[in-house]
Amino acid sequence: MSTAGIDRRTRRRQETIEEILDVAVELMEAEGVAALSLSAVARRLGMQPPSLYQYFPSKMAIYDALFQRGSELQRDAYRTALDSSPSQDPLEQLLVAATAFCRWCLEHQVLTQLMFWRTVPGFEPTPAAYAPALESLDDLRNHLQTMSDAGYLHPDAASDEGLALYTSMTAGLLSQQIANEPDASFEDGRFIRLLPVVLEMFYQRYAPTRGKK
């Protein structure tokens, strides 16, 4: 078989995988994240369930692929916003990046629930699927460390405690927004628009003078 034939087969397989994942998201939006059914996915695609197993051996495998896809997209949205920020001020840059992160989460609520809430009993992402999420945490830690090095924040801001507090505060806003006003925009949502206030609270907690008398 020619290389061109192999490439076409590989490309077609990848296209089918992406189509399966797209349909899975549509069904999860309609029925709930934990209610995904392989049979329903197969029916929507016009294929028999055994054919679907050639691409994903189980429902958990689809969740795993979606977790990785979402983590990569969320990571890239954060990085793009940070790289394209018109300001060189680290405080403003963090707000820009945090805003991009929250916007992405509100625009992809099914993936957000899968990634940040334990909505599927028994599901744990594989190390490969979880790797982009760890990269996102490293991005955040590095930015907080940069802010600390520049004198904007206390060094503890980039500690494990600091990351836990930061992610808890932002995740709390997202959780409240999605639970109470899932259809509201970022600008209109009464919870998510408190993001600058939450960041200010974080800055106050880790002010450069923390612990000094």
Statement to judge: residues 98 and 28 lie in one domain = no
- Domain with 24 in it: what CATH number? 1.10.10.60
Judged against a pLDDT cut of 90, whether residue 24 lies above it is answered with: yes
Domain that holds residue 48: 1-57
- Residue 212 falls within a domain, yes or no? no
- Domain with 200 in it: what CATH number? 1.10.357
Record the tokens describing residue 123, joined without a space: 């599901």
Judged against a pLDDT cut of 80, whether residue 212 lies above it is answered with: no
Question: Between these two residues, 3 and 137, which has the higher pLDDT value?
Answer: 137
Statement to judge: residues 46 and 85 lie in one domain = no
Judged against a pLDDT cut of 80, whether residue 1 lies above it is answered with: no
Residue range 58-109, pLDDT digits in tens: 999 999 999 999 999 999 999 999 888 888 888 888 899 999 999 999 999 9
The percentage of the chain sitting over the pLDDT mark of 90, rounded to a whole number, equals 81
Question: How far apart (Å, rounded) are the C-alpha atoms in residues 26 and 176?
Answer: 23
Question: Whole-prediction pTM value?
Answer: 0.90
Statement to judge: residues 179 and 199 lie in one domain = yes
Report which of 45, 13, 41 is spatially closest to residue 27, judged by C-alpha positions.
41
- Which of 38, 57, 76 is the C-terminal boundary of a domain? 57
